[in-house]
């Protein structure tokens, strides 16, 4: 008996160290009906894989189990043309590798917390947003949104009722070819709504590529507060990064080609951005119809206490402008920027605006409405690197030339540390350039 008890104890001890799963970790299915059956009995930790093929369903496949992954056998080869997937009250579910074409859809309702949407393709016209996110702590990464020409956005961040979805992380996605021709309503990303502008979304939008974002004047439209928009690349697009409503958003280190940045609202920080624009309006201080927007207002409000610093801005005509309106920018800062134009005034600010100017370097035009105390007119000696980015050369007068204290600007657009007295513009001179614009190889379904 003693030996038997010892054997039982040893077996119990061994089982506490050696895990023998009681279910298959990966379940492969060949049809939508078998997918639904597998999902109905799924266990946390399982990966349910649907075979390659084209699938059309009258009703979406319902996901009601938490802690699972629902994946295509090969990213881009499992296509829904009707129906799609529907998330229930779940947590920690990953949706991976599907194509949502035709009328098919898959969005994230408020009760589907901590969902990950990765390596999916949203293609063609949809009714409303291609992907809508209403839950907290959702990650949207390595997806492709493409080829849409009707009204509606590619990616809408919303939330239940009057609330906003919190802590959405949007990264390494490819937004391509939105060609809606209406007045507005074709943004690539709409982060909130006007009536949710005071809500703190705390979203991060980073390392995304936008090409032919022409469905709206706003490629990234921020309509909430306390967000970060950084390290994105926009090229050949009508759409800008626009802080349309809300406060306290950071716009850092973006590379914009034939695009720009426009802002309304209060207490934003806009720094380390490179805007290479073939036209004018690289930076636009929005002014508008009211001093500060109320919770239900859709009017443009003026920017208050917005700092635009350490950017490199290249264009023609008025590279930096303010919009018209009854309420002008108030208590803003424009500091330590390199502004290169072609002729005329590089800055045009409406009378009545109150902006502090300091430490700027301008070339290729006059200061325009910028007071002479706010800039030096001197050639910054910019050179283009192998990736087409305008940088300081070793003899640039912008090196070690900044003024004032901007303690949050600790790195440049390469993410290299700024040392000593920071250089003017987005680039801290360093012979070892590391940044390059994002390409299709860096983002979307097939990227590393």
Do 45 and 20 touch, CB atoms closer than 8 A?
A: no
CB 70 within 8 A of CB 26: no
* Cα distance between residue 118 and residue 69, in whole Å: 11
Distance CA 254, CA 207 (A): 9
Q: What span, in angstroms and rounded, lies between the C-alpha atoms of 405 and 307?
A: 12
SS3 at position 139: strand
- The three-state secondary structure class of 43 is coil
What pTM value is reported for the model? 0.94
pLDDT at residue 9, as a whole number: 44
Q: What is the pLDDT of residue 12?
A: 43
Residue 289: its pLDDT value, please?
A: 84
pLDDT of residue 17: 43
Tokens of 237: 């697009």
The DSSP secondary-structure symbol of 4 reads: H
Q: What pLDDT does residue 36 have? A: 97
Could you list the pLDDT tens digit for every one of the 448 residues in the chain? 333 334 434 444 333 444 545 678 999 999 999 999 999 999 999 999 999 999 999 999 999 999 999 999 999 999 999 999 999 999 999 999 999 999 999 999 999 999 999 999 999 999 999 999 999 999 999 999 999 999 999 999 999 999 999 999 999 999 999 999 998 899 999 999 999 999 999 999 999 999 999 999 999 999 999 999 999 999 999 999 999 999 999 999 999 999 999 999 999 999 999 999 878 899 999 988 888 887 778 888 999 999 999 999 999 989 999 998 899 999 999 999 999 999 999 999 999 999 999 999 999 999 999 999 999 999 999 999 999 999 999 999 999 999 999 999 999 999 999 989 999 999 999 988 889 999 999 999 999 9
Burial 161-191 (b: 16+ CB within 10 A, else e): eeebbbebbbbbbbbbebebeeeeebbbbbb
Q: What residues contact 233, with CB distance under 8 A and at least 6 apart?
A: 208, 209, 210, 254, 255, 256, 257, 437, 438
Q: Are 77 and 101 a contacting pair, CB within 8 Å? A: no
pLDDT score, position 22: 63
Is 128 in contact with 121 (CB distance < 8 Å)? no
């Amino acid at each position: 008996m003693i030996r038997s008890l010892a054997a039982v104890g040893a077996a119990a001890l061994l089982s506490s160290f050696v895990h023998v799963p009681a279910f298959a970790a990966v379940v492969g299915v060949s049809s939508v009906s078998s997918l639904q059956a597998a999902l109905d009995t799924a266990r946390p930790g399982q990966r349910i894989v649907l075979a390659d093929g084209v699938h059309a369903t009258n009703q979406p496949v319902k996901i009601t189990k938490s802690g699972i992954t629902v994946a295509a056998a090969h990213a881009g080869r499992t296509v829904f043309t009707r129906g799609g997937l529907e998330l229930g009250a779940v947590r920690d579910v990953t949706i991976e590798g599907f194509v949502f074409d035709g009328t098919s859809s898959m969005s994230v309702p408020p009760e589907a917390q901590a969902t990950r949407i990765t390596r999916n393709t949203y293609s063609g016209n949809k009714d409303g947003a291609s992907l809508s996110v209403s839950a907290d702590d959702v990650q949207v990464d390595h997806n492709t949104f493409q080829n849409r020409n009707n009204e509606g956005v590619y990616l809408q961040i919303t939330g239940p009722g009057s609330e906003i979805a919190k802590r959405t992380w949007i990264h390494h996605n490819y937004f391509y070819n939105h060609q809606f021709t209406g007045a507005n309503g074709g943004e690539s990303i709409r982060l909130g709504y006007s009536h949710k502008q005071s809500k703190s979304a705390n979203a991060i939008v980073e390392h995304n590529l936008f090409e032919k974002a022409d469905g709206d004047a706003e490629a990234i439209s921020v309509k909430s507060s306390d967000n970060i928009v950084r390290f994105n690349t926009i090229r050949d697009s009508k759409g800008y990064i626009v802080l349309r409503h809300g406060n306290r958003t950071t716009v850092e280190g973006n590379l914009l080609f034939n695009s720009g940045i426009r802002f309304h609202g209060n207490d934003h920080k806009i720094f380390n951005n490179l805007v290479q624009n073939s036209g004018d309006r690289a930076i636009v201080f929005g002014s508008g119809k009211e001093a500060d927007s109320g919770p239900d207002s859709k009017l443009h409000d003026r920017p208050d206490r917005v700092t635009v610093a350490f950017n490199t801005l290249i264009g023609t005509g008025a590279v930096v402008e303010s919009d018209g309106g009854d309420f002008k920018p108030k208590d803003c800062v424009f500091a330590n920027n390199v502004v290169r134009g072609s002729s005329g005034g590089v800055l045009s600010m409406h009378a009545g605006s109150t902006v502090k100017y300091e430490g700027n370097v301008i070339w290729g035009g006059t200061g325009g409405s910028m007071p002479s105390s706010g800039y030096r007119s001197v050639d910054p000696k910019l050179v283009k690197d192998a990736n087409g980015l305008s940088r300081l050369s070793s003899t640039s007068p912008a090196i070690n030339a900044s003024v004032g204290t901007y303690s949050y600007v600790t790195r440049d657009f390469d993410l290299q540390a700024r040392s000593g007295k920071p250089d003017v513009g987005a680039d801290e001179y360093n012979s070892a350039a590391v940044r390059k614009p994002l390409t299709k190889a860096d983002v979307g379904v097939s990227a590393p």
